[in-house]
Amino acid sequence: MKKAFAALLALVAMASCTTQSYKDSSLSPETRAKLLLREMTLEEKIGQMCQYVGPCYVPPGQGSAYSNIDADDPNLGKPDMAEKIRAGRVGSFLHVLTSTEAAGLQKIAAQSRLGIPLLIGVDAIHGNALHEGCTIYPTNLTMASTFNPGMMEKIGAETADEMRQTGMCWTFAPNLDVARDARWGRMGETYGEDTYLVSEMGRYLVYGLQGRDGLGEHNVLACAKHLIGGGEPAGGLNAAPMDMSERKLRELYLPPFKAAVDAGVATVMTAHNEVNGIPCHGNRWLVQDLLRGELGFDGFVVSDWMDIERMHSMHHWLESEDEAFKVSVEAGIDMHMQGDKYFESILDGVQSGRISEKRIDEAAGKILAAKFALGLFEDAEVKVREDHSVEGAAEHRQTALEAARQGIVLLKNDGILPLKEGQYRRIFVVGPDADSQTIMGDWAAPQPEENVITVLKGIRSMCGDAVIEDMCFDGKILSIDDAGISAARRKASASDLNIVVVGENSQRYSSYGITCGENNDRDNLQLPGRQQELLEAVYASGKPTVLVLLNGRALSLLWASENVPAIVEAWEPGMMGGQAVAEILWGKVNPSGKLPVTIPYNVGQVQTVYNHKHSQYSRKFALTHSGCLYPFGFGLSYTSFAYGEPAIASSEISASGSTTVTVDVTNTGEMDGTEVVQLYIRDEYGSVTRPVKELKGFKRVTIGAGKTETVSFDITPEMLQCFGAQNSWSVEPGDFTVMVGSSSADKDLKSALLTVR
């Protein structure tokens, strides 16, 4: 009887399965993906793993104008792409730069046998900035300076909304690289040098992009990248090798990815570089054991641009591209970004028995499940707007403005700031970045001029009664010559106030001479070109001078810090950044940004980070400075804040215990202000050497003039643990110093002792 009943149940289950359809939107994305896989050929499954660049990304014959891609890739501009799509051999596109193109590609995909929609991705790193008319927010380094994860979530949600309006449904963000070398050109694309800050900003961007309650029609897939260790490349050069201990990997570079996985990130991208001799794109331990096994990641893994092939051509690790393709799939890479030959190689791998069809089902199934979760099977139609407009743009630009206000860091002020209305009749604004769209940073396409507020525009709108003369060198950093420097000196002498706007250019699509950004690494940290000479010439006029920096990395500013009375580090504050800079210069906004990176005196000090080991500075440099010029977490305000002594609720706890530290913060000035209160902890002695301090918490607190706020932090076991000598995580007994203050500098911190018994 029991056997008959079991057989009946089996028949019912089989009948239920046969009646289910992947077109049934009431089923889960995973169930629908499994049902669809049953109807797909092997070729169609492998097709889902193939991603290509948008046909318009590199116009035929113009590839050489773009320095950051492989312009000689034979697939670019290839006429048979439409046939590949109709045959089901393409699952995804990236860098589709117009809604018209996105709509056209989806229409072709609908003509395939099963009508499977395309997954269209884009590098929306700080807004959907590669699309004309969208909102360009401050770059990630600027956002890290806000110490405001909530703002990051808001920007993520707005970015996702604008992406879906233009046909995009997947962004290759957040960038979770921990940037430990300022020579590396991608520092501006990151959230800085600290693991905890990177983790928090990245986690909240995932929340914003994907939503906290599952993907909806206004959400997109996020992508945690680059797994792993690319922010500390040998020599500062992008994609250079990384050799590190497992302890360093787990304590410094892995936590941001764990935070993203815990937040539900849908996709992960592996890194250009090799780690301990194994390229990341072929590292099974990294992808399968660590990412999927330990962290529990359940989405799909995509390669970076043609980096699978580079396991052969760049790393010289595998003897052919064909072998690289097969090894990548065996290692756990589910999608190949850009290029031919991959499809044929993987098909051969399955037909020869080397790669199981189960592995293909796993990869294609995860990609299909993402498409179902996005609702693409129900509605993949892209609504084309000929005027490139997006709904909500006005509101989103106000968010971009507020983010820029919070992210700008005041590095020095000898009393010249804030400027007063009517104080100066003749103002000279000089520098190649003063009126340039480089204010938007990397990963931003040129925008209509009326959509971008440069520093010069912001200043003109702030002080309409003053006579403002400008000298911007056509926005070209490397065009400053003797004649220009002489002319600037004369104009500076004739002015009442000089505002020098210099820095770098990260705009990959400009013709102004890119100096920063992806694959634009440097062997020094000076102002590029002759900008330093320009600054010194203007300063020599003897007139009040303010320095405004627009840059995507920490620069050496020793001369400026010793001479110029006011320095504003604006980073790359986005399309509304010029207004934010002007508002801060004239005191309409009280600056509150804090440095997410340490600024060294010069490039010879690299690596310079706040959370170094005790022995790093046990010896001093001969003849020059040791330490840093400006510490991590530093930033001035137009008011002042006084910290009381921190109080710990329980000064002794067990290894599994928690406690709370509180501190009173008083605004001792005459202007309301916002302070970023920072919590650092040092493990005094451990089974392995520990950093001098580690950021474990922060809070933005707005305090009225003369008022006091009590700020508290919970101290949990997670904050105290280390990856000890036994190669495992634990809270080791002993003394911990708990520090609270305005920056990571010892002079800015008040401390209390916590003992773990």
Extract the tokens encoding 152: 């990051």
Q: Is 116:48 a contact under the CB 8 Å cutoff?
A: yes
Dihedral pair phi/psi, residue 96, rounded to 5°: -90, 110
Using DSSP, state whether 20 is helix, strand or coil.
coil
**Helix orientation angle between 577-585 and 455-462, rounded to the nearest 10 degrees:** 50
Beta bridge partners, 667, equal 641
Using DSSP, state whether 11 is helix, strand or coil.
helix
Beta bridge partners, 267, equal 223, 300
| Calpha distance 583→327 (Å, rounded) | 54
Tell me the DSSP string of 507-524. Answer: -TT-SS---SSTT---S-
Which amino acid does the sequence have at 637?
S
Q: What totals of helices (H) and strands (E) does the chain contain, helices first?
A: 22, 27
Q: Is 498:549 a contact under the CB 8 Å cutoff?
A: no
Q: Is 348:5 a contact under the CB 8 Å cutoff?
A: no
Dihedral pair phi/psi, residue 20, rounded to 5°: -75, 150
| Calpha distance 663→525 (Å, rounded) | 37
* Cα 193–Cα 194–Cα 195 angle in degrees, nearest 5: 125
676 sits in the region (left: phi over 0; alpha: psi -120 to 50; else beta) called: beta
Q: How many CA atoms lie within 13 A of 273 on its CB side?
A: 24
| Calpha distance 117→174 (Å, rounded) | 24
Which residue is catalytic, options 177, 304, 442, 470? 304
Using DSSP, state whether 736 is helix, strand or coil.
strand
| DSSP, res 748 | G
Extract the tokens encoding 583: 């508002």
Extract the tokens encoding 680: 């650092």
| Calpha distance 559→523 (Å, rounded) | 19
Using DSSP, state whether 287 is helix, strand or coil.
helix
Extract the tokens encoding 158: 């707005």
Beta bridge partners, 336, equal 50
CA separation (Å) from 462 to 167, 360, 455, 478?
A: 38, 59, 11, 29
CA separation (Å) from 469 to 135, 266, 427, 492, 495?
A: 29, 50, 6, 10, 9
Residue among 146, 155, 151 at smallest CA distance from 173: 155
CA separation (Å) from 22 to 13, 28, 32, 89?
A: 17, 9, 4, 20
Q: Which runs of consecutive H residues, i.e. helices, occur in 38-77?
A: 42-48
Extract the tokens encoding 359: 């592995």
Extract the tokens encoding 229: 């260790």
**Which of 111-131 are b and which e, b meaning 16 or more Cβ less than 10 Å from the residue's Cβ?**
ebeeebbbbbbbbbbbbbbbb
Residue among 67, 89, 68 at smallest CA distance from 78: 89
Q: Is 699:676 a contact under the CB 8 Å cutoff?
A: yes
Known catalytic residue: 304?
Answer: yes
Q: Is 364:49 a contact under the CB 8 Å cutoff?
A: yes
Dihedral pair phi/psi, residue 224, rounded to 5°: -80, 125
Active site positions, annotated: 304
